[in-house]
Amino acid sequence: MPAGELMPELAEIETLRSDLAAEFAGHVIDRVEVSGTRSVRRHVDPASFTRRLVGRQIRGVARKGKFLLVALDSTDVLVAHMGMSGQLRRVEAGSVGSRHTHVRFSFCGASELHFVDPRTFGQMFVSDAELPELAHLGPDPFDVDQAGLAGLLSSRTTKLKVILMDQSTISGIGNMYADEILHAARLRPERQGRDLSPTEVASLSVAIREVLGEAVARRGSTLADRQYKDLYGAAGTYQELHRVYGREGKPCTRCGGLVARSRSNGRSNFYCPGCQR
């Protein structure tokens, strides 16, 4: 299989969210060390990032789409996006970071939190609770029911795959889970939103919940490139259930047809021509 690259999507971020909350809620940020200013590029003055965090207590961790929102005991929120290759890791205090550790958080305790990101597409920033930077994001897939989904698809001539990945329509789905969802729904990626029958919309609605729900339960997907690891450095296991993503030329687990790969909008689409209409 070609080295499929994958950015952490909803399932991986949700796994991080729950582990971060369990490990760090209640902790007071003692020190913040930024060694890669690109990772905090939204801050014209990188020192303002540190200044707004030191001394703050972590109240909880939420998720909006693929963004992590760390609530603080101030009016600020620490926002983190993993980009393609970002990882958050819990490490022992005093640990030497890896080459690509760009931000380190120290607490009054034995563990630190490191933001590691080789490709630096990810970022962290501090914003106020209104979060204007995230205002464009659409609803979470789990918050969209069948009628809501029908509304999002109606009148749109855009390809289904693109709609699913459009963060302003629904937030949290990336290339990999979009392909798995469309296979589960038996729909081809290039179908237009407005052309779906009510039955097909229902299938898609169910598929979104099933695929993402199971992916969260399995703590996300870790592919051969091992780009995604959880807070403790462990892999997810949803890749064992992948039906199409990264499986070009292999038999479809449902119909036996060969999984095909097409390309649109600069993205790979894996799908089964045999059972996806």
Partner DNA sequence: AGACAAGCCTGTACGC
Partner DNA sequence: TGCGTACAGGCTTGTC
Per-residue x/- track, 187-226, DNA (CB under 7 A): ------x------------------------------xx-
Choose the stretch contacting DNA; rule: CB under 7 A; options: 19-27, 45-53, 174-182, 211-219: 174-182
Q: Which residues contact 45 (CB under 8 A, 6 or more apart)?
A: none
Look up residue 173 and give its two tokens.
């789905």
Asked if 213 and 151 touch (Cβ cutoff 8 Å), the reply is no
The alpha carbon dihedral of 38, 140, 213, 248 has a sign of: negative
* Binding piece for DNA, criterion CB under 7 A, among 21-29, 47-55, 142-150, 155-163: 155-163
Beta strands 29-34 and 87-92, pairing class: unpaired
Given 18, 106, 158, 262, the residue binding DNA (CB under 7 A): 158
Binding-site member from 35, 37, 75, 265 for DNA (CB under 7 A): 265
State the minimum distance, in angstroms, from the CB of residue 85 to DNA: 7
Part in contact with DNA (CB under 7 A); list of ranges 3-11, 14-22, 103-111, 207-215: 3-11
Q: Is 56 a catalytic residue?
A: no
Give the C-alpha separation, 113 to 107, whole Å. Answer: 8
What whole-number distance in Å separates Cα of residue 254 and Cα of residue 250? 12
Among 43, 81, 183, 219, binds DNA (CB under 7 A): 81
**267 is a catalytic site residue:** yes
Shortest gap between Cβ of 7 and DNA (angstroms)?
Answer: 3
Q: How far is the CB of 167 from DNA (least distance, A)?
A: 5
112 an active-site residue? no
Kindly list the distances between the CA atom of residue 217 and the CA atoms of 14, 57, 203, 220, in Å, as whole numbers in the listed order: 10, 29, 21, 8
Q: Say which DSSP state 224 is in.
A: T
Q: Are strands 76-81 and 87-92 parallel, antiparallel or unpaired?
A: unpaired
Quick one: which of 157, 198, 240, 249 contacts DNA (CB under 7 A)? 157
- Which two structure tokens, joined as six digits, stand for 63? 């998720």
The Cα–Cα gap between 234 and 129 comes to 32
Answer yes or no whether residue 37 interacts with DNA by CB under 7 A. Answer: no
Establish if 264 lies at the interface with DNA (CB under 7 A).
yes
Q: Does 138 bind DNA (CB under 7 A)?
A: no
Is 198 among the catalytic positions?
A: no
Q: What share of the chain is helix, strand, coil (3-state, %, to 5)?
A: 30, 25, 45
Residue 31 interacts with DNA (CB under 7 A)? no
Residues of this chain that interact with DNA (CB under 7 A) are 2-7, 9, 38, 65-66, 81, 83-84, 99-100, 118-121, 136, 155-159, 162, 165, 167, 174-176, 193, 224-225, 264-268
Catalytic center residues: 8-9, 66, 267
